[in-house]
Structure 1
């Protein structure tokens, strides 16, 4: 078997069986300057036996792992889009199954393309992480111990993020039964053949336990910072693992753990910012984060795009929302909420054509070079505020201050009415509205509904979906069912 730079051979639907192994300098390389990062070396190929025999080749596997994460069907764009359009914020305009119509309309089934590609690309990223961990263990001493620990931490972060993405789509919410429902198969060893196809589903709780184990180990192994803002945004470091843990614990309803993790990277008082590692904080203008500079300290982790390495076409967020306008904003969704005022700077990331409003948060035309946000500091703050309001001893005052920091960054003169923050229930509802505004188009709405066991509201011609209906989560794809006899 040979592996190829930016090319992989995959049997349809069986993405977990092959590695995305890349052998030249890319945006995640530590050993290259930023000029060479934007001008990668030509394609090369090597046999498996040589993939871990030099430091440069080990680094190539790290780069390939991140490239697998950035697949157009995964965090390069489509996963975020599907996560959003299942909620109520967008109206489908073209009824095109290739751009998510069946997910929007809740008619996705085991044979649907998006059920398959989301599953297979997530397992492809997991397999890349597993093969990196296996390869380094089988070739000790090729890289220095500290570098090996760093790479292992990055692999565990990628694996954790990928499993969280899978369990959010294909597993029942943790809150339903404490994670007792069937989850997804936990594949923790690299696969290059179909010899180990058959693997039963672990429970939702078991998958979450593995995610947290990986993130705890990643937090310990990862560096505090890298040498440039670009690397701090596009490679996992200590604070990246912590930020993802706040999302994971929030989805599990473990609010005291959200508070504990968040306080590692959020100061006790305004202006809220990280006191160690990368100095994360909100930027003065959200427009900076989405147009002028994709590598500010607000962007904890993003998928980078260059002219030589970008996601285009029907998986690109810029294409879907801005250029081809497959989806417009639902007037009955967050767009119609009266607390989202005209003077709010986040309204500048919308475009009105007649009476129809489109999201332009991803505004670059082809080639689509907007970085895709995966973790932003504003999300961490909103996770913190919600957890503070939901703990057994809620701190409504601090939660309100954190929430206000996010709102007033975009709308400095806005003051939340007293009734909106006076009780835990009122404050949580206010925070959920703020999440819908701040994180619009970044892949959060579906999971925010599911983790709270809320129905998915009707929109346009799409019906409402209750937590009891099978359409509440994605079905396991037919390709997996036919190849895995233990499902």
Structure 2
């Protein structure tokens, strides 16, 4: 990391609270940075800096399609087979598996800098919070969140720009630079660390975050991370690393004491983090409108061109695997007839989209603006992680784990489909049933590219409503160089520790 992408990012830009647009420290210090003594004098000030990270997840950056974490969700899902394009041109060119391979593509630069900015500000908090004045429990909460943020950001970056983690290998393949400290301007850029080293740092931070959350103050709202979220992140990482027992344990601990949503909540629009199942989400106030760059301006019912002319659709082959009695069947319209589509019984003035078949109604704006809360983690995901991990342990020879996987799946599936009965599937058949449930459950929430990559599976859009004209490619073999995004050219040019030889093939 160097120059444009160096770790020292202006805290002054993002130090603000989620409850309003008013700035706490804007323009009070030089524009290149805010003195640590000013930001971290008290836990109150440190919390304001932390709130800046929260808000950075949904503000607009340089371009319209750079709407924070929601934009990343769209990129990751567009690369899979479960979202179907409706026109040949779209802001999210990754759908055709071309633009992400260009080092000069602005989307690559956005994702790279977005997460490293989060890391830079988390580093500043981690390094200074211990000396702040304030209750110890507040310090522990703030530090726990910063550590979890740093781990999460590295986790996304290594999945996007690095090679996949191979549970059977030594993982010396190139990952991404590890940023676990602030650096001064004269320090040379950091090299790309091995995938193994990046995951080691991620796990170190998550373990420290979990420890820090013990005895910490209760988070004020779900935009903040807590011990459940940290354990949920640990479960995601363990699943990606093929550490099945740990993944199952962490997912179970993460969801302990939390509940799945009701069927009525499931069809309410996925736009409100007060939903009992949401573990972590970004709250956006109505007076902080994001107009045409928010997640719901691209995946919602806001009256935007992206929703009117490019309604997001579900792969018909996946839709056909949803049981008729499953509440989730109501969230996509196979006919394209809005008048008969439950999810589009909307207030007057809300766009109903075109008549495209299999269009989505899962994500709906709460009102007439583009405002909507973005979900980052749910209890349902934890059930799916635990079920998958236990099923894989069952394939390895544990009948007890197979039974446990069946029962974990039953709890989730029965909640969504009252007619669901305990599955008799075992082995690979059980695993495949769980993975189908995962695709249905987490559709549009930013998982599909990561899921395909971690399992070393190809993209297969054949036999569905995907077309070459609209989707660019129908198949992408597993394991090729296409599964790594190009490192931004500005980083290659300015960071001698990476340089041209450190670019992905």
Q: Aligned in 2, Cα 1:39/1:171: closer, same or farther, shift over 3 Å?
A: closer
CA distance in 2, matches of 1:118, 1:467: 23
Deviation for aligned residue 1:384 = 0.1
1:76 to 2:78 alignment: no
From 438, 453, 457, the counterpart of 1:454 = 457
CA distance in 2, matches of 1:124, 1:204: 20
Q: Which residue of 2 aligns with 1:120?
A: 113
Deviation for aligned residue 1:443 = 0.5
Question: 3-state DSSP class of the match of 1:233?
Answer: coil
From 384, 388, 411, the counterpart of 1:405 = 411
> Would the aligned equivalents of 1:235 and 1:301 in 2 still touch at CA under 8 Å?
yes
> Would the aligned equivalents of 2:231 and 2:251 in 1 still touch at CA under 8 Å?
yes
Question: 3-state DSSP class of the match of 1:240?
Answer: helix
Q: Which residue of 1 aligns with 2:347?
A: none
Q: Which residue of 2 aligns with 1:271?
A: none
Question: 3-state DSSP class of the match of 1:174?
Answer: coil
1:190 to 2:197 alignment: no
Deviation for aligned residue 1:282 = 0.5
Q: Which residue of 2 aligns with 1:57?
A: 45
Deviation for aligned residue 1:333 = 4.2
Deviation for aligned residue 1:194 = 4.3
CA distance in 2, matches of 1:119, 1:361: 29
CA distance in 1, matches of 2:368, 2:411: 34
Question: 3-state DSSP class of the match of 2:225?
Answer: coil
Residue range with higher mean Cα deviation, 81-90 or 140-149 = 140-149
Deviation for aligned residue 1:187 = 1.0
> Would the aligned equivalents of 1:222 and 1:236 in 2 still touch at CA under 8 Å?
no
Deviation for aligned residue 1:251 = 0.7
> Would the aligned equivalents of 1:247 and 1:383 in 2 still touch at CA under 8 Å?
yes
Deviation for aligned residue 1:146 = 2.5
1:328 to 2:312 alignment: yes
Deviation for aligned residue 1:475 = 1.2
Deviation for aligned residue 1:167 = 1.1
1:426 to 2:429 alignment: yes
1:131 to 2:133 alignment: no
Question: 3-state DSSP class of the match of 1:195?
Answer: coil
Q: Aligned in 2, Cα 1:51/1:141: closer, same or farther, shift over 3 Å?
A: closer
> Would the aligned equivalents of 2:138 and 2:217 in 1 still touch at CA under 8 Å?
no
Q: Which residue of 1 aligns with 2:341?
A: none
**CA-atom RMSD in angstroms:** 2.7
CA distance in 2, matches of 1:12, 1:349: 45
From 462, 466, 486, the counterpart of 1:475 = 486
CA distance in 1, matches of 2:85, 2:282: 25
Question: Please, what TM-score do these two structures have when normalized by structure 1?
Answer: 0.84
CA distance in 1, matches of 2:3, 2:96: 24
Question: 3-state DSSP class of the match of 2:276?
Answer: coil
> Would the aligned equivalents of 2:270 and 2:375 in 1 still touch at CA under 8 Å?
no
Q: Which residue of 2 aligns with 1:284?
A: 262
> Would the aligned equivalents of 1:19 and 1:127 in 2 still touch at CA under 8 Å?
no
Deviation for aligned residue 1:388 = 0.5
1:19 to 2:47 alignment: no
Deviation for aligned residue 1:111 = 1.3
Q: Aligned in 2, Cα 1:207/1:289: closer, same or farther, shift over 3 Å?
A: farther
> Would the aligned equivalents of 2:273 and 2:280 in 1 still touch at CA under 8 Å?
no
From 34, 44, 55, the counterpart of 1:67 = 55
The count of residues paired between Structure 1 and Structure 2 equals 446
Q: Which residue of 1 aligns with 2:280?
A: 301
CA distance in 1, matches of 2:258, 2:216: 11
Q: Deviations over 1:136-160 (max 9, x none)?
A: 35xx142233322221111001111
Deviation for aligned residue 1:340 = 0.2
Q: Which residue of 1 aligns with 2:331?
A: 349
Deviation for aligned residue 1:100 = 0.9
Q: Which residue of 2 aligns with 1:33?
A: none
Deviation for aligned residue 1:444 = 0.9
From 226, 239, 249, the counterpart of 1:237 = 226
> Would the aligned equivalents of 2:235 and 2:251 in 1 still touch at CA under 8 Å?
yes
CA distance in 2, matches of 1:93, 1:129: 39
Deviation for aligned residue 1:23 = 7.7
Question: 3-state DSSP class of the match of 1:263?
Answer: helix
Q: Deviations over 1:80-126 (max 9, x none)?
A: 111111000122234445x2123443442111121110011010111
CA distance in 2, matches of 1:291, 1:330: 16
CA distance in 2, matches of 1:74, 1:396: 41
